[in-house]
Structure 1
Amino acid sequence: MPSPIPVTRLLPRDFYPSLDIGTFSSPLSKHSHGPSLQVPVQRLPDSIASRRVSSVIHWKQLRSVQPVGSGGFGSVYRVEYFGETVALKVVKKCTKNRLASRQSFWAELNAAQLRHRNIVRVIAATTCVPADVGDESSIGTILMEFVGNQNLQQVIYGGAEALGAERWLRYSTDIVNGLRFLHSHSIVHLDIKPANVLVSGEDVCKIADFGCSLKLDHGCELSVISPHLSHVCGTYTHRPPELLKGESVSPKADIFSFGITLWQLITRELPYTGDRQHVLYAVVAHSLRPPVQDQPVFQSDLGRLCRTLLSRCWSGDARIRPSAEELLPQLEQLKSKATPTAFT
């Protein structure tokens, strides 16, 4: 049985102009006029994997709720839903910045209508949360595909097995394929880092956690001083200098973050040490980047190619950075050089 709560209370009015199919325009897009997400309000088909995003969560169908993790804006649970294992994310209000937490919820839906092998799929979303699922601090819930319990951060820093060149190149290609698809739909993620890349049981990487994302109009840049960007967050170690300086957002911001992530995959080290404010200042004022010159791992033929690619990805000038589309053939070139002894 679906939730007895009327559909007109599930989401704000711009999420459901009609009861047959609603048109959603996120308040985090550059302009909130015109359609950007189709939300069918209907019964579930036989397989939840085949349907588009719904504004109804059938609460009585949730079984075996198990906590998976929690972050600044919410908690994630593994649940059984109509017999399938899925993930349930409960987004909570941040007492220090309620606007930011609410915007984070809407940002999570920027890519909700998209379907891609390397992006975590959204099944349903609602702003109504029953008392036995959330509490008065909950903004809403998002039902997503369950990828697994492991993210790339855990693979890099917690895995005992070797992370060979073939494997990290495959992971990198997965991430860039996901970014290419997002950017082709004018969506920038703005928080690409290992912890936000999930690794499935089939060893496939999927980009997750869109709480910092933005939808741009036709690939246009957007100034970070815009009122639409009061939620812009991201992790300081992966944030590009143009955003630290308050300049425009573009898809090239994700490429910078990918460059830091690629360096982590190669070295399995932390990108920076020291005080956060010192790092932020040095990234902007002194072009501080993770070390490559004196590391043996970058002295082989493959390592030197990686060093060149990294320098372009994390260039202080966003125009110099390659697009996700341009990165893919460069990663293929690296694959041609990868051997079991490529970094020895």
Structure 2
Amino acid sequence: MKIDASLLKSIAKGSRLKEDRRGFSGVSTDTRQRMENGLFVPLKGERFDGHRFIEQAIEAGATGALWKEQEPVPEQLPETFQLYYVEDTLKALQALAQAYREKVNPFVIGITGSNGKTTTKDIVASVLAGTAAVHKTKGNLNNHIGVPLTLLAMPEDCTYAVVEMGMNHAGEISTLTQIAKPNAAIITSIGDAHIEHLGSREGIAAAKMEIADGLIKESWLLFDGDEPLLSPYNEQAETTVGFSDQAATKISDVKTLENGYVFYLNGARWQLTMLGKHNVKNAAYAILLAQKLGFSNAMIQKQLSSLAITGMRHVVTVGKKGRWIYEAQLDKKDSRISLVHADTVVEAAEILKPYYTKDTVVLIKASRGLALEEVLPAVKGGN
């Protein structure tokens, strides 16, 4: 990946070094990460200001930065350090990501949903990786900062980019999809998370449907055909997917194996080595998308059979201190463990709900003050 000067000049009002033609090897907002020959983006919030950490960014290897034009430039800044002046560093980060997405021009798949979006992202990326260079969202970089950083981390030869999109409020998915400009989009499910901000599950469905706002070219939209709240949007879908007769593309004859399932979809038999029947639907999204892209059924099945997800442990951390565990585990880069962070017990229950069966084992570890035991009655619907 290389972010060249021409892209930066297209989104900046000016620069500190006028004739500089350098490029940057990457983009980072975190001075705790090494960024050799990187571009630092100092974000500003209510309680922090990344501009105050420019020296740490230089120590981490940054050779340039976006810079809010009203901010004073530190006197001790090296003469060769480049600054690109912008009105708002967050908006500039998003604009830069959009410009880089257009330059690389991959086929972008946007994925959202109350549950299953991370797993679906992994399955889609694994299936498409059979024939081409694939880039996908890492960790939970799925918000207004994470999506731009995901796009800016794409290799220049990227063929497919699988971009996860999360949200708390109405309008957020619309912003993300306008940045990523997906060629195809998947809505995995509609749950209850963030209902306090959206008023109802109908409001959540409408917010998830915002992913269609940024669709370009092929404009393929796939979503859950078993979800009544999405049925008013059926005409916008390339196809709907589910187990019921209401779905345009029906998953049928699902049989349980020791380590997964066999099922039929589009007249073909498929085998998935993942537990949890909901993952059959997640795999179905990937199968249908790959078929539309021209992948053979044999290639798709080969990639499904090699998924490195079997036997994984689905880890959910909760609360402020739980995020420390989440971030520490991320640093270990253990591909056998799927990590998700929830801010509240209610959100954790919503995340766990699709995984719960009478045979599910859930290990709970927390102080009594967090009342994490409440997650199980919530998952089981109070029974």
> TM-score surpassing 0.5?
no
Give the TM-score, by structure 1 length.
0.29
Structure with max Cα Rg: 2
Give the TM-score, by structure 2 length.
0.27
